[in-house]
Amino acid sequence: MTGFSTRAIRAASRSREIAQRPTSVPIYQTATFSAESVEALAEAVAEAPGGYAGYAYSRLGNPTVDALGDAVAELEGAEAGFALASGMAAIHATLLSLLSVGDRIVSTRAVYGSTQSLLVRTFGRFGVATEFVDIGDHAAVERAVAAAPTRVLYLETISNPTIVVADLSALSAIARRHGATVVVDSTFASPYLVRPLEHGADIVIHSATKYLSGHSDVLGGVVVGDAARVDAVRKVQVDTGATLAPLAAFLVLRGIPTLAVRMERHAATAAALAAWLEEQPGVARVHYPGLTSHPQHALASRMLRLPGGMLAVELAGGRVAGAAFVDGLTIPELTASLGSIHTIVAHAASTTHRQLGADQLAAAGIAPGLLRISVGLEDAEDLQADFGRGLASARDAAGGARPIVRAGSSPSPV
Ligand SMILES: Cc1ncc(COP(=O)(O)O)c(C=O)c1O
């Protein structure tokens, strides 16, 4: 008879083997997988197409995490997919899998702030140079890509925060002519609006923290593409360790079945708010691809299933008005993410792009008072009434009428 602890460990570590398939992906909450023999363990960690032949250690592979990579690959029409600890982990591992010292990147200048920082501050230290371009100017992109051997053309389908839409087919064709790999961050679009691989992209990345999971309760990232490229990303992750936790993978998988329903509602409400905001006094400009005033409206109508749930608003009163608008709201969450059930209004210069100085903000085309709005799933009428209050606060602040106090976070009874 073994001792109590030995029995307890063995007794509590046995999982039932069942013949049925569960309708949800099980959470394999384990760091380790055991094998029947030394030989079987060696076989499990042998490299095989798409990863390893079996499971041994969750940094090398975990069935729940693999299920997420497979699911997003299927939605994007990709050969393979791989999930990591966050969107930034996915971007970092992807670029690390492609770049060597002395390589060159051409990137959209309207790029997420942490990505800009990763490119300049981190990869820059290792001799990787990045040139930022206006991806709406295809001649300028071609000049930049042709100027010197370029390893990566880095794009965002819909850019953060100015809602610029990239012409993925035209830009991928430019990259192909010059031998560059096209990496697309499609977080704002989600696989429901567009599948960038069908437009010529080589690798697509999502911050699964946003629309894929959809509820602001988990961090994750996913990379999809052809099997060889995704395998190279997996190898970087095994070496660098930005492993997604099984529970986090489950939570993202939990969001995916409702992605279409959520995106339809996000987009319907965003379209209504964008059209309304455009008519309001104090609003200088609304950036939303569904509006005919958007510079890439025709492209967006062609390329995207829907114009999405993200919009940006420039208030006539600049920075002061932008801050007062946010402080005057009662429904949206005052936080810094997007793609959630909650409407989230962010002041770009002080949150998502806080790493950028005034010159860099201007270079990225971000006005000091620009507000980025991720339209949630609340009722459209309630949001419109609340934005009306925000605009009134903004107008007062710009006119210096009265100090603005944030009204509190409880929903207003409209
Ligand atoms: C477009 C875009 N890409 C990547 C990221 C990074 O994602 P994560 O926060 O999951 O690392 C974000 C985060 O806001 C984003 O907006």
Q: What is the pLDDT of residues 213-248, one digit of tens each?
A: 999 999 999 999 999 999 999 999 999 999 999 999
Note the pTM of the prediction, 2 decimals: 0.93
Q: SS3 of 274, please?
A: helix
Residue 211 is a catalytic residue? no
**Among 28, 112, 154, 288, which one carries the catalytic annotation?**
112
Active site residue 210: yes
Please give the distance, rounded to the nearest whole angstrom, from the Cα atom of residue 299 to the centre of ligand 1.
Answer: 24
How much is the average pLDDT of 102-113?
A: 94
- Measured from the Cα of 90, ligand 1's closest atom is 11
| Structure confidence at residue 154 (pLDDT) | 98
Per-residue model confidence as pLDDT tens digits over 157-192: 999 778 999 999 999 999 999 999 999 999 999 999
Q: Calculate the dihedral angle through the C-alpha atoms of 360, 363, 369, 371, rounding to the nearest 10 degrees.
A: -100
113 Cβ inside 6 Å of ligand 1: no
Phi, psi dihedral angles at 70 (to 5 degrees): -65, -40
- 185 is known as an active-site residue: yes
Q: Please tell me the least confidently modeled range out of 47-56, 75-84, 346-355.
A: 346-355
- How far from chain centre, in Å, is Cα 341? 15
Residue 22 has a pLDDT of 95
Looking at the CA of residue 336, tell me the nearest atom of ligand 1.
14
Structure confidence at residue 400 (pLDDT): 58
pLDDT recorded at residue 408: 37
219: Cβ below 6 Å to ligand 1?
A: yes
Q: How far apart are CA 326 and CA 332, in angstroms?
A: 9
Across all residues in the chain, what is the average pLDDT?
A: 92
Distance CA(381)–CA(372), nearest Å, equals 19
Q: Would you say the CB of residue 187 lies under 6 angstroms from ligand 1?
A: yes
Note the pLDDT of residue 364.
Answer: 66
Give yes or no for residue 88 CB within 6 A of ligand 1.
Answer: yes
Tokens of 331: 């429904």
Q: Is the CB of 162 under 6 A from ligand 1?
A: no
Mean pLDDT to the nearest integer, 288-303: 97
pLDDT value at residue 352: 65
pLDDT digits (tens, 9 = 90+) for 305-353: 999 999 999 998 888 888 899 999 999 988 889 999 999 998 777 776 6
Q: How far is the CA of 401 from the centre of ligand 1 (A)?
A: 37
Amino acid residing at 157: T
- Ligand 1 pocket mutation pick from 119, 160, 335, 351 by most atoms within 8 angstroms of CB: 160
User: Active-site residue among 151, 195, 210, 265?
Assistant: 210
Return the structure tokens found at 166: 């990239």
Q: How far is CA 248 from CA 28, 154, 217, 251, 256, in A?
A: 11, 27, 9, 5, 13
Between CA 161 and CA 216 the distance in angstroms is 18
**From the CB of 207, is ligand 1 less than 6 Å away?**
yes
Q: Percent of the chain at pLDDT above 90?
A: 83
Give nearest CA residue, ligand 1 atom 6: 87
By the 8 A CB rule, do 393 and 325 touch? yes
Ligand 1 neighbour 94 (Cβ under 6 A): no
Atom 14 of ligand 1, nearest CA residue: 337
The answer to whether the CB of 118 is under 6 A from ligand 1 is no
